[in-house]
């Protein structure tokens, strides 16, 4: 969780600057705010870092995904291809928008594969909601070929991939719209927060209005603004934006340390027989938040996880049985339990969610172990940790 590892005086000062003016709201109040515009600065910083033409800060990664879907024109009855391995917010955002999820295979990139997308494509498919999992990009060349050939809309949930690039292009900029999360567990945190990005001015304007009750944000009298679309309150507060901004400024250094520590551990584990690593289509663009490795099979992965527990090694995740990251545990979703009826209840689900066949995803996620890299480790601590992991895994593999 690098975000929370580096919390210092900059974040505190940023929050205090906002508190000192008393303007906690991101719009208007020019006199009160004394030139302090944290949300705007955060947006500029995200544009600068990612190279995005436009960025809009919102209240969470989840509302950023909702905003990205809305601004891409995805809504009622639209069939959208999604991965079975993600954070559940991806699927929730689509369902609440009135969309209909179609699950496709992920592969050893831990993201949707071009093959997986092709397998479930039908004439009704409108879009792909691609998730760049665990800090690195999907196989974008292959995926973009499918997107372009079939004239699909691409929306990117880069909730856990800020800092990841594919051939020097930031994740979130391959499709029409993209989303990042700044929640407590991400590479940069604002406490709660998210960012919408796009290169398309029209989509940006839609997002900017959608995330604030449709306001057009023209002029300095909020009460007299026009409302080009219906929207809702997905605004970020200046307090959260102040924290997010300082975290953005730390990001290049966090990535450097992540990659250094990850390499130390990966080099140590690489000498083990029967271990393999996540396939990264562009390893240069990794943000280094996770070291993802595969055991030969599901059973060995489970045994390694219990050996880690016995040996007191924390920080590894087994997503296969995690309640919120893999489809096997999403019973409420498969049963379509919701507080009130959704579009999918009226229109019907495009797949039988209780009997999905995703053998590749089952196999890949079943043998996957994910280590969350700590950027704050010294080189010695990373080496020590890697050696402990290696000894623990050897006990199982011998």
Ligand X SMILES: *Cc1c(COP(=O)(O)O)cnc(C)c1O
| Nearest residue to 132 via CA among 162, 100, 95, 176 | 162
84 contributes a contact to ligand X by CB under 6 A: no
258 contributes a contact to ligand X by CB under 6 A: no
Q: Is 263 a catalytic residue?
A: no
Nearer to ligand X, 157 or 225 (CB): 157
Per annotation, catalytic residue among 126, 186, 205, 367: 186
177 contributes a contact to ligand X by CB under 6 A: no
3 contributes a contact to ligand X by CB under 6 A: no
How far apart are CB 290 and ligand X at their closest, in Å? 11
What totals of helices (H) and strands (E) does the chain contain, helices first? 15, 13
90 contributes a contact to ligand X by CB under 6 A: yes
370 contributes a contact to ligand X by CB under 6 A: no
Q: E strands within the chain?
A: 54-58, 79-82, 100-103, 125-131, 153-157, 165-166, 169-170, 177-181, 194-198, 276-277, 290-294, 316-317, 368-372
Among 54, 85, 87, 103, binds ligand X (CB under 6 A): 87
81 contributes a contact to ligand X by CB under 6 A: no
- Dihedral pair phi/psi, residue 59, rounded to 5°: -75, -20
344 contributes a contact to ligand X by CB under 6 A: no
**Tokens found for residue 253:** 């250094």
- Sign of the dihedral through C-alpha 249, 244, 63, 34: negative
Q: In the window 31-60, what residues touch ligand X (CB under 6 A)?
A: 60
Nearer to ligand X, 86 or 177 (CB): 86
How far apart are CB 62 and ligand X at their closest, in Å? 3
159 contributes a contact to ligand X by CB under 6 A: yes
**Buried b / exposed e across 63-96, counting CB within 10 Å, b at 16+?**
bbbbbbbbbbebeeebbbbbbbbbbbbbbbbbbe
**Residues paired with residue 100 on neighbouring β-strands, in sequence order:** 79
67 contributes a contact to ligand X by CB under 6 A: no
61 contributes a contact to ligand X by CB under 6 A: yes
Phi-psi domain of 171 (left: phi exceeds 0; alpha: psi -120 through 50; beta: other): beta
Nearer to ligand X, 247 or 392 (CB): 247
Of 42-50, 82-90, 315-323, 388-396, the window that binds ligand X (rule: CB under 6 A) is: 82-90
How far apart are CB 259 and ligand X at their closest, in Å? 20
Among 109, 160, 362, 392, binds ligand X (CB under 6 A): 160
Q: Which residues contact 177 (CB under 8 A, 6 or more apart)?
A: 67, 68, 69, 71, 72, 155, 156, 196, 197, 198, 200, 203, 207
Cβ–Cβ < 8 Å for 62, 92: yes
Q: How far apart are CA 373 and CA 260, in angstroms?
A: 10
How far apart are CB 162 and ligand X at their closest, in Å? 10
Q: How far apart are CA 80 and CA 99, in angstroms?
A: 7
How far apart are CB 71 and ligand X at their closest, in Å? 16
**CA distances to 49, 134, 345 from 163, in Å:** 8, 11, 38
89 contributes a contact to ligand X by CB under 6 A: yes
66 contributes a contact to ligand X by CB under 6 A: no
> Cα–chain-centroid distance for residue 133?
7
Nearer to ligand X, 26 or 33 (CB): 26
Q: How far apart are CA 48 and CA 54, in angstroms?
A: 10
206 contributes a contact to ligand X by CB under 6 A: no
**Residues paired with residue 370 on neighbouring β-strands, in sequence order:** 292, 317
Among 11, 41, 139, 183, binds ligand X (CB under 6 A): 183
Binding marks (x or -) toward ligand X, 104..143, rule CB under 6 A? ---------------------------x------------
| Residues that bind ligand X in the complex, under the rule CB under 6 A | 60-62, 65, 86-87, 89-90, 131, 157, 159-160, 181, 183, 194
**Active site members:** 186
């Amino acid at each position: 969780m690098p975000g929370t590892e580096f919390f210092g005086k900059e974040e505190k000062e940023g929050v205090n600057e906002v508190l000192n003016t008393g303007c906690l709201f991101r719009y208007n109040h020019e006199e009160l705010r004394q030139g302090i515009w944290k949300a705007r600065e955060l947006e500029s910083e995200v544009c600068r870092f990612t190279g995005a033409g436009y960025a809009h800060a919102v209240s969470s990664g989840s509302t950023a995904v909702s905003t990205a879907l809305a601004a891409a024109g995805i809504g009622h009855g639209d069939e959208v291809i999604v991965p079975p391995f993600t954070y559940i917010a991806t699927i929730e955002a689509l369902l609440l928008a009135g969309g209909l999820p179609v699950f496709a295979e992920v592969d050893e990139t831990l993201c949707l594969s071009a093959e997986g997308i092709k397998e479930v494509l039908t004439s009704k498919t409108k879009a792909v909601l691609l998730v760049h999992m665990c800090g690195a990009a999907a196989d974008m060349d292959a995926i973009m070929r499918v997107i372009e050939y079939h004239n699909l809309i691409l929306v990117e949930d880069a909730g856990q991939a800020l800092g990841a690039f594919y051939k020097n292009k930031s994740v979130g900029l391959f499709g029409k719209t993209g989303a990042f999360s700044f929640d407590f567990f991400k590479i940069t945190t604002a406490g709660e927060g998210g960012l919408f990005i796009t290169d398309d001015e029209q989509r940006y304007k839609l997002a900017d209005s959608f995330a604030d009750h449709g306001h057009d944000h023209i002029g300095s009298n909020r009460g007299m603004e026009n409302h080009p679309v219906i929207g809702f309150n997905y605004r970020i507060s200046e307090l959260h934006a102040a924290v997010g901004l300082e975290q953005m400024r730390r990001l290049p250094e966090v990535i450097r340390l992540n990659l250094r520590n990850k390499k130390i551990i990966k080099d140590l584990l690489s000498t083990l027989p029967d271990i393999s690593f996540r396939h990264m289509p562009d390893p240069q663009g990794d943000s280094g938040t996770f070291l993802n490795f595969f055991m030969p099979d599901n059973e060995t992965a489970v045994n390694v996880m219990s050996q880690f527990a016995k040996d007191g090694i924390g920080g590894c995740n087994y997503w296969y049985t995690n309640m919120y990251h893999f489809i096997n545990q999403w019973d409420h979703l498969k049963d379509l339990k919701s507080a009130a009826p959704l579009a999918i209840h009226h229109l019907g689900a495009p797949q039988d969610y209780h009997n999905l066949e995703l053998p590749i995803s089952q196999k890949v996620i079943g043998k996957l172990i994910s280590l969350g890299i700590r950027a704050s480790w010294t080189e010695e601590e990373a080496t020590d940790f890697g050696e402990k992991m290696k000894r623990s895994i050897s006990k199982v593999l011998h």
